[in-house]
Structures are given as C-alpha cells and as structure tokens.
Amino acid sequence: MTLMVHRIGPACTVQDQGRIGYLDQGLSRSGAADILALHEGAALLGQSPDLAALEMAGMGGTFEATRRTRVALTGATMQASIDGSPIVWNASHILEQGQTLTIGATVRGNYGYLHLEGGIETELFLGSRATHLTAKIGRAVAVGDVLPAGKTAGDGRMKLSPPDRFNGGTLRVVASFQTALFDDETLDRFAQTEFTRGARANRMGMQLESDGPGFAAKDQLNILSEVITPGDIQMTGTGNPFILLPECQTTGGYPRIATVLPCDMSKAAQTPAGGTVRFEFVTLEQAVEIDAAFSADLARLPSRIEPLVRDPHDIPDLLSYQLIGGVISATD
C-alpha cells in the first residue's frame, strides 16, 4: 500500500497515456486530459511518462501515506499541504509514513495530477491503467481506496517551471476531413473569432461560445458518420464548436471544421470556464515540424528539473539540523 484515500473530489480518476489501437472496436483512447503533466511528473520523479497518475478535476482530496513515499504534483495548480504545512506545486515531495497530504481546489486550470514514485499500479486492462468512465472501464477513486505505488521512495525533492497553459490562448489546428465543406468566409470568420469556454465540459469534450452567428457547413445534415479522434472540433446544430477530449465518441456525423494539434491539447483541456481561445490554421507540413519540436521539448524535460530548496519557515524541526558543519575561518 502507499496512499490511503480519506477524502476525494467527485471526478478523480487514475490515468496514463491511454489505450491506443482500439478505435475500430469503438473504444476511444481515454488517458490524461493533460498529457504534458504526465511527462512533467515523470521528470520530477525520474521515471517513465507511461506510468499512471491520479487526475483530479477541479478538486483533490486527503491522502495518508501508509509507508514512506515520494510524490509529485503537476498540471493545474491546486492548494496543497503536508500535515497542514503548505507545499510547492510543480515539485516532488517526501511523505513519511503516517503523514497526510491534502490537496484542495484548483487555482488555475482544470486538471491537477498527483504522481507516485513507481506509478499508480492499478489493474491493467487492454495495456493501460486509464479509467474510461463513458466506456465503464474502471471507476472514479472513492474514500477508502488505496493508491498502490510501484517502489519505495527516494530522497530527492525537485521542482520545475512549466509553460503557462492554464489561461487559454491560441490553439493551432489543421484541416480535417470536412473542412472543405465550410466556405472561405466561414473559415476566415472562425479563425478571427475569439471563443469563450462554456460551462458544458467534461472528459468527452468542451463547448465554446462566441458572439455572432454560428458556423455551418454545406449540406451538414447529410454528413455520414466518420471516425473521430480527440482534438477534432465538431460544430453542433446551433453552430457552436466542441473540442473533443480523451473520452470522446469514436464516430459522429456533426461536421468537423478542424483538428487541434496534439501538442496544444493540454492547453485546450486546461482552459478554465470563461477563458478564451483562438484558432490558428497551419499546414500539415508545419504541423509535423511543430509536433517534432514538441517531442524534442518533452525529451529535454529532465534537464530542466532543479533541486527544491525548502523554506526554513516550513521545516518544523529546523533546530535539530546541524547547520555549521564544514565552516572554516575567514582569516585562514
């Protein structure tokens, strides 16, 4: 055992990078809404980004360490403390046996992540530990559950400075199979419009709202259902766009005006209610270059990790430390 759950938010699930290769069987990928957060946690703990973590949507919980363990906190910033003492987000920390980690509400963004050294080792299903609520694979974490970790904790406390992706911004998109069904005037207006993330959002998708008329495609009522993937931007009958997220359906007949690049999906998922986004079309060739640069940045993440220097005010047993060993005379 590692972390006992004493309190938990309503939408906390174990997630990894999801299940690949099951679209033809009607199963979407699922996995973390913010894949970048998985890589950041892995870099902080010196482990593989393929390991599972706890995804916390809006609210965390209270967890008791049943043995010494090391954890990392990434994604949307949330209020956090160990035994009542505040701790830094985007960092790794040591939990001694019996200590309590408390994670509150999000301060910025939507999805925060709790990583355990060795990963959360829940049961594998189709090669993944990812919960997929709409497919009824797994369930939300509940009070009384135990989050099992893969190995005993090390000693390093580390930190990183993540890119700001929690306030919306520009999302780069490529043309989809149905982009040509939208006329040039509609496409230009779409690219020039500032959208606001609406209240309707979950792990399946997020609605965007804007002033002015909606965005309609030619003969959109006659579109046959086709394969859908996360990042596709569907236009509903009212002309409001939905960005599809990890638990989206695998087929659909709503017209898709574009597809968000995978490297910008973390920013999309972390855009808070009321946050604004714009869309920038790029060519397929540009998208390949952008994706390659993103992959290179992920590979460099471990080199950006720094030691976490503790604030003396946060060390309750400061007086027990030997602070002057090695001091020499300045006159020698």
Q: How confident is the model at residue 250 (pLDDT cuts 50, 70, 90)?
A: confident
- State the Cα–Cα distance between residues 180 and 296, nearest whole angstrom: 32
Supply the mean pLDDT for the chain: 90
pLDDT at 23: 87
Domain boundary among 128, 162, 196: 162
* Mean pLDDT for the stretch of residues 265-279: 96
131 and 208 in a common domain = no
- State the Cα–Cα distance between residues 160 and 92, nearest whole angstrom: 9
pLDDT at 244 over 70: yes
- State the Cα–Cα distance between residues 167 and 268, nearest whole angstrom: 9
37 and 52 in a common domain = yes
Q: How confident is the model at residue 321 (pLDDT cuts 50, 70, 90)?
A: very low
Q: How confident is the model at residue 221 (pLDDT cuts 50, 70, 90)?
A: low
96 and 182 in a common domain = no
Pair of tokens at residue 27: 């199963």
DSSP assignments along 285-310, one per residue: HHHHHHHHHHHHHHHHGGGG-EE-PP
150 and 7 in a common domain = yes
Total number of domains in the chain: 2
pLDDT at 315: 53
* Mean pLDDT for the stretch of residues 278-296: 97
Whole-number percent of the chain with pLDDT over 70: 90
pLDDT at 90 over 60: yes
- Identify whether 53 is part of a domain: yes
pLDDT at 178: 87
242 and 210 in a common domain = yes
- Identify whether 76 is part of a domain: yes
Domain of residue 68 covers: 3-162
* Mean pLDDT for the stretch of residues 149-174: 87
Whole-number percent of the chain with pLDDT over 90: 73
Categorise residue 167: left if φ over 0, alpha if ψ from -120 to 50, beta otherwise. alpha
- Identify whether 65 is part of a domain: yes
Q: Is the dihedral of CA 72, 206, 272, 104 positive or negative?
A: negative
Facing residues of 89 across strands?
none
- Identify whether 156 is part of a domain: yes
- State the Cα–Cα distance between residues 218 and 220, nearest whole angstrom: 5
227 and 143 in a common domain = no
Sheet holding 12-15, edge to edge: 12-15, 53-57, 111-116, 69-75, 91-95, 158-159, 306-307
SS3 62: strand
CATH number at residue 273: 2.40.100.10
Task: Flag the least confident range among 117-126, 147-156, 295-304.
Answer: 147-156
182 and 120 in a common domain = no
- Identify whether 315 is part of a domain: no
For the stretch 12-36, pLDDT in tens is 999 999 999 898 888 989 999 999 9
27 and 49 in a common domain = yes
13 and 153 in a common domain = yes
Q: Is the dihedral of CA 264, 265, 267, 271 positive or negative?
A: positive
* Mean pLDDT for the stretch of residues 139-145: 96
